[in-house]
Amino acid sequence: MARRLFVLNGSNLNMLGLRQPELYGTTTLDDVRGECERVADELGFDLFFAQTNAEYELVEWVHDAFRQDAAVVINPAGFSFRSVPLLDALKMLVSPVVEVHITNIHARDAVYQHSLISSAARVVIAGAGVYGYELGIRAADRLVPTITG
């Protein structure tokens, strides 16, 4: 039985590589998915990777992670700053939550500087670009026990 890992992406990340490349780079979400699949496979995770612009769908996926005792690496994007429902869902997880932001949110405009989600995260990675996803998966690997048969 493999360890479960959910890599969840919030609003507008489907436009990664097209939207504000000077800020977010030119790597697409499909590229990010491929890299996450590679790292998850290397570390022995069974990966669920998804993106949505709908808050309720993100909350439902967190509920699924809870039911499956899965670690979560999440880039909540715009949901970081106003989504109490997402925060409440993440707080019920027993497995670790790693929050990832492509940009350094602390160096951005005030509206982007305080993530509600950080209070539910064991690890927060911000400003490493899309490499933050790999760092997040590796952090989850360190926090989730290895399953032995």
Which residue ranges are tagged as binding site?
75, 88, 102-103
DSSP string, 113-141: S--GGGGG-SEEEESSTTHHHHHHHHHHH
Give pLDDT tens digits for 91-132: 999 999 999 999 988 887 777 777 999 999 999 999 999 999
pTM over 0.85: yes
56, 63, 101, 133: which one is catalytic?
101
Active site residue 24: yes
Q: How far apart are CA 54 and CA 109, in angstroms?
A: 24
Which H helix or E strand runs over 9?
A: strand 3-9
Active site residue 133: no
Give pLDDT tens digits for 35-46: 999 999 999 999
Domains delineated in the chain: 3-143 (3.40.50.9100)
Of 51, 8, 32, the closest CA to residue 129 belongs to 32
pLDDT at 1: 57
Give pLDDT tens digits for 58-85: 999 999 999 999 999 999 999 999 899 9
Using CA atoms, how far residue 91 sits from 18, 46, 95, 100, 129, in Å, is 32, 22, 10, 16, 26
24, 63, 114, 133: which one is catalytic?
24
Which residue ranges are tagged as binding site for substrate?
75, 88, 102-103
